[in-house]
Structure 1
Amino acid sequence: MNQQQNPGPVRADADKTDRDAVASRLARDIQEGWYVNLGVGMPTRVSNMIEDDREVVFHSENGILGMGPAPVSEAPDPWLVNASKKAVTLVPGASLFHHGDSFAMIRGGHIDLCVLGAFEVAQNGDLANWTTSSDELLPAVGGAMDLGVGAKRVWILMQHMSRDGEPKLVERCKYPLTAPGAVDRVYTELGVFEIVDGRFKVLELADGVTLDKAQAATGAPLYTA
């Protein structure tokens, strides 16, 4: 008698592959020599996608400049973590400093790019990524508000739709804002979308994704020109 296969692990592996592919796609657009801050969740994957022959300096707001890829050791240094409390490595020449100095870098406009996750992004660039309720008693803003207004560029790395099947690219955010008009570009498993003149411009669609499919998953009009 044939037993039904459990699809759970396969789906989990597929999700990981999809997320790694999107992170890798974003990493290709990071320019040589940029100072880059990575937010929690999917953005942390980006540091693993930079080729060894490229110099990109990763910053963490808890006081690190020069983060490397995630450690491969099963027993990483428990004191060496990023702002998400995830274990990290350091590249040669890395430096550690007080988080006050770290935020001075952010607020002083010295971060070339910040990669964040999001609950919603509006077509005018508004970002909502810290809470899904105005009644939240214990908000977890972290450094996102400072990064949203202090970084030279803000790119979003996220799934195109929520777990409930709701579009995350929208005409107007319904969740409390992290930063108004902050987002420059969005990377999802469906493609790359740039915010130009208050609308979502399609820069690239993923393999096998049509404009109609992307539009059906988006809560705002998509434009190609």
Structure 2
Amino acid sequence: PGWVVNLGIGIPTLASSFLRPQDGVLLTSENGVVGYGALTIDNADPDVVNAGVQPVTLEPGAAILDHAASFALIRGGRLDCAVLGAYEVADGSFSNWSASGEPGLGGIGGAMDLAAGARRLWLAMEHTTHGGAPRLVERCALPATAGPGHVSLVVTDLAVIKVGADGLVLREHAPGVDPERIRALTAAPLALHPRLTPIAL
């Protein structure tokens, strides 16, 4: 409760539809929407969108900021947490802006500012690529968004993994998914937490 949270493009934007007003989370987006709620189709305002340019509702007390003020919020250390998507994650470093590694294809955008400015950085992503290759690796092969030590938590379709000085630690697993299968789909050492539990849905 009381957290200011930025949800990045992709999977992270889905979280807004699961939060309740009583959770006390203030959602922000780089484009300057502060205090938004769930995704919406009904009465959508094309100017009220999240990072994925999806229409969202506004909560009571919401504000719309210009880009300068929005990034002052990010760079000024006012975010309790940023939740971003990623192509790869390693020792707290991650890659989320270029899937090819080829120069000249897109830019890093606001992800670098979020990684540097947020007090906590969590990733929400698929555990493997569409071809089945692990996204949690020992070292990122793609251009890094931020270096080691930035990411503290990774939530995938299979697991909740804590990232810290001891490396990757599996804290929760999807119901019905064997932790050893998660290990097999992870290309980095993955320790099992002594109180490992299924994810409560």
TM-score, normalising length from structure 1?
0.82
One of 183, 200, 210 as aligned partner of 2:168: 200
CA contact (8 A) 1:125 1:198 kept: no
Tell me whether 1:114 sits opposite 2:85 in the alignment: no
Residues 168-219 of structure 1 show CA distances to partners (whole Å, capped at 9, x for unaligned) of 0000000000011211100012110001215101111121122210111000
CA contact (8 A) 2:33 2:48 kept: no
Residues 157-176 of structure 1 show CA distances to partners (whole Å, capped at 9, x for unaligned) of 11100012110000000000
Residues 42-92 of structure 1 show CA distances to partners (whole Å, capped at 9, x for unaligned) of 10000111123221100111111101111140x511122223222111100
Counterpart AA for 2:102: D
Distance in 1, matches of 2:110 and 2:166, equals 25
Other-structure match for 1:19: none
CA contact (8 A) 2:13 2:50 kept: no
Residues 88-111 of structure 1 show CA distances to partners (whole Å, capped at 9, x for unaligned) of 111000011111111111111110
One of 35, 38, 42 as aligned partner of 1:69: 38
Give the alignment of 1:211-222 within 5 angstroms.
Answer: 211-222=179-190
Tell me whether 1:173 sits opposite 2:143 in the alignment: no
One of 89, 110, 118 as aligned partner of 1:143: 110
Give the alignment of 1:20-169 within 5 angstroms.
Answer: 32-73=1-42, 75-122=43-90, 124-169=91-136
Distance in 1, matches of 2:122 and 2:177, equals 21
Query: Structure 1 or 2: larger helix share?
Result: 1
- Distance change in 2, residues 1:87/1:136 (3 Å): farther
* Structure 1 stretches of at least 4 aligned residues deviating more than 4 Å after TM superposition: none
TM-score, normalising length from structure 2?
0.91
Distance in 1, matches of 2:51 and 2:177, equals 34
Higher radius of gyration, 1 or 2: 1
**Structure 2: gaps (5+ residues):** 194-201
Distance in 1, matches of 2:50 and 2:94, equals 23
Counterpart AA for 2:106: P
CA contact (8 A) 2:168 2:190 kept: yes
SS of the equivalent of 1:45 reads helix
Distance in 1, matches of 2:66 and 2:21, equals 28
CA contact (8 A) 2:163 2:169 kept: yes
Distance in 2, matches of 1:204 and 1:134, equals 32
Q: CA RMSD in A?
A: 1.3
